Each structure stands twice: as C-alpha cells, then as structure tokens.
C-alpha cells in the first residue's frame, strides 16, 4: 500500500507537486494499493522564509481508506482506478487546507487559482488526467536529460527511455548511464554519497524502483533494433567501498539488496 498526496506544496520558496497519472499506473503495475491523501498540519521551515516542513496527513481520510481496504477483494488496478475518481474531492480539500496552513503560519504559498485549475482539469476523468500528466512527464524527462551533477561518479551517457505497459501507463524516464554491448542494452541507475560508504536508504529505494521497472522490460529497442535489457544499480561514493567497514545494520541492508538483485535479475556495482 502507498499513501500519496494529491498535492504537496512546500510554500512559495519550495516545490509544489501534483499527483501524476503514471504514478497511479506504476503502482497498479507493481500491485500496490494507493490511498489518496492531503496534508492538514505543517511547521514553518526554520531556515527558509515562505517554506514549510514536517507536513502531516489528515488521519481521518487515511482511516477511511484503510477500512475500505480491509474489505476490498479486487486487484490493485481496479482499486486504484476507483481512487482516481476521488482526485477532485481530495484535491479541493488539499487546497483549502493549504490556504489555512498559509494563514496560520504566515507563509506565502503557491498560487491557489492555478492549483484549482489543475485539480479541475485532472478531475474531469482518467483520459484527461492521463493526457495532462504525460505532457508534464515528457517535459520533466527532457529537463533531466540535460542535467549534469558533477558530484556523481558516472562514466557513460544519459539516455531517454520511454516505457509502455499493457495498463496504459507510459513512463518517461532518463537512464543515468546507458550503453550497448553486443546484443545487450546496459541500463544503469546511479546513486551517490559523499561522506558514507553507501547512499541513503531512501536513494537506494528510489534506485530500486527504477531498476525493478528495467528488470521487467520484455522488449527494448534502440533505433529500431531489439536488445536484451541488462539493468544495473550503481552505488558510488568518494570513499572506497568496504563491506567490513559497514555497520551491522548497514551490512544487513546490503545483504538484502544483494538478495533482491539475485531474485530480480539485476546487478549491483560499486565505484
């Protein structure tokens, strides 16, 4: 199960994100049940004006969703499609909640008119929601393709990858490194750390999500030619990797990662 906010607004000096159709589709693909939610409490960011932090969900909507799930016996796909029908109602509650939070904390939020228009657009139906989300996903893909992080220890070239599935989902992603070796398409998702031996658990989980997608590709085409996908999770650090230097807890998590890689057909490498 995944709890996903319809809107997350960090204040005018922070980011604002809306639920995307392909997030719903991806969760359905992974057989994960989605509960839509919104935030009702937050705190002022102590280090940045007009930004909030420590946001908390409305517990009542979560209780209701959890209760419905206990008696629900259909697939995640059907459940999630039903949840999409509630996007408008939950989104409007989220906007009103952010109005209140902004006033209570004396924090300027992003414009509410644009948020209202966005919610009304995606509430018109699944087809409209899907179309709008995909336009934004393609734009994000193009931006990411041109971003270079000098702190990351990556060697190859980034590549655009668009994944289609039978559920109607299209995922516009960017592979951190991609290359062709014989008949294989090497697809590398990279995660980096500066001061530790391993990247953070959150970064590794994010890498695993994409690697899971690459591990389940049935066909990969590059310039019209078919290749076998070879997904890889690349963990990099400024410190040389040393398994014995990991804490007992970190060793346990690393062993689980290695087990996950063997079970799902991808490779973990270090740099």
Considering the chain, what is the average pLDDT of its residues?
87
Distance between CA atoms of residues 172 and 160, nearest Å: 8
Q: Could you give the percent of the chain with pLDDT greater than 70?
A: 93
Q: Could you give the percent of the chain with pLDDT greater than 90?
A: 45
Mean pLDDT of 192-202: 87
| 148-270 is classed CATH 3.40.50 | no
Domain boundaries, given as residue ranges, for the chain: 2-142, 148-270
Distance between CA atoms of residues 70 and 50, nearest Å: 40
The tokens for 56 are 């908390």
Window from 28-32, 43-47, 59-63, 103-107 with minimum mean pLDDT? 28-32
Q: Is the pLDDT of residue 169 over 80?
A: no
Mean pLDDT of 22-32: 82
Distance between CA atoms of residues 57 and 36, nearest Å: 10
Secondary structure of the chain in HEC code, one letter for each residue: CEEEECEEECCCCCCEEECCHHHHHHHHHCCCCEEEECEEEEEECCCCCCCEEEEEECHHHHHHHHHHHHCCCCCHHHHHHHHHCCHHHHHHHHHHHHHHHHHHHCCCCCCHHHHHHHHHHHCCCHHHHHHHHHHHHHHHHHHHHCCCCCCCCCCCEEEEEEEECCCCCEEEEEEEEEEEECCEEEEEEEEEECCCCCCCHHHHHHHHHHHHHHHCCCCEEECCEEEEEEEEEEEEECCCCCHHHCCHHHHHHHHHHHHHHHHHCCEEEEC
Question: Which has the higher per-residue pLDDT, 175 or 110?
Answer: 110
pLDDT digits (tens, 9 = 90+) for 121-139: 877 766 677 777 777 777 7
Is the pTM higher than 0.75? The answer reads no
Distance between CA atoms of residues 19 and 77, nearest Å: 17
Q: What is the pLDDT of residue 150?
A: 46
Residue 165 confidence class, pLDDT cut points 50, 70, 90: confident
For tokens 């294989």, the residue is 184
């Amino acid at each position: 199960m995944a709890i996903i906010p319809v809107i997350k607004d960090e204040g005018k000096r922070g980011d604002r994100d809306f639920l995307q159709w392909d997030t719903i589709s991806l969760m359905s693909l992974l057989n994960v049940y989605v509960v839509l939610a919104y935030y009702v409490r937050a705190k002022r960011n102590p280090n940045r004006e007009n930004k909030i932090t420590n946001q908390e969900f409305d517990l009542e909507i979560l209780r209701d969703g959890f209760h419905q799930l206990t008696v629900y016996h259909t697939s995640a796909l059907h459940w999630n499609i039903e949840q999409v029908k509630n996007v408008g109602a939950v989104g409007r509650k989220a906007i009103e909640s952010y109005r209140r939070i902004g006033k209570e904390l004396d924090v300027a939020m992003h414009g509410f008119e644009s948020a209202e228009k966005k919610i009304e657009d995606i509430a018109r139906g699944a087809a409209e929601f899907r179309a709008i989300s995909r336009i934004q996903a393609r734009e994000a893909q193009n931006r990411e393709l041109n971003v270079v992080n000098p702190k990351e220890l990556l060697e190859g070239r980034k590549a655009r990858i668009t994944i289609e599935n039978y559920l109607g989902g299209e995922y516009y992603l960017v592979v951190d490194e991609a290359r062709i070796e014989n008949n294989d398409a090497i697809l590398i998702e990279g995660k980096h750390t500066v001061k530790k031996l391993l990247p953070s658990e959150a970064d590794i989980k994010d890498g695993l999500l994409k690697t899971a997608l690459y591990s389940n590709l049935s066909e990969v085409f590059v310039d019209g030619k078919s290749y076998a996908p070879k997904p890889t999770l690349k963990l990099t650090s400024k410190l040389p990797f040393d398994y014995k230097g990991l804490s007992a807890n970190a060793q346990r998590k690393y062993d689980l990662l290695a087990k996950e890689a063997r079970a799902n057909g991808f490779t973990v490498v270090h740099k």
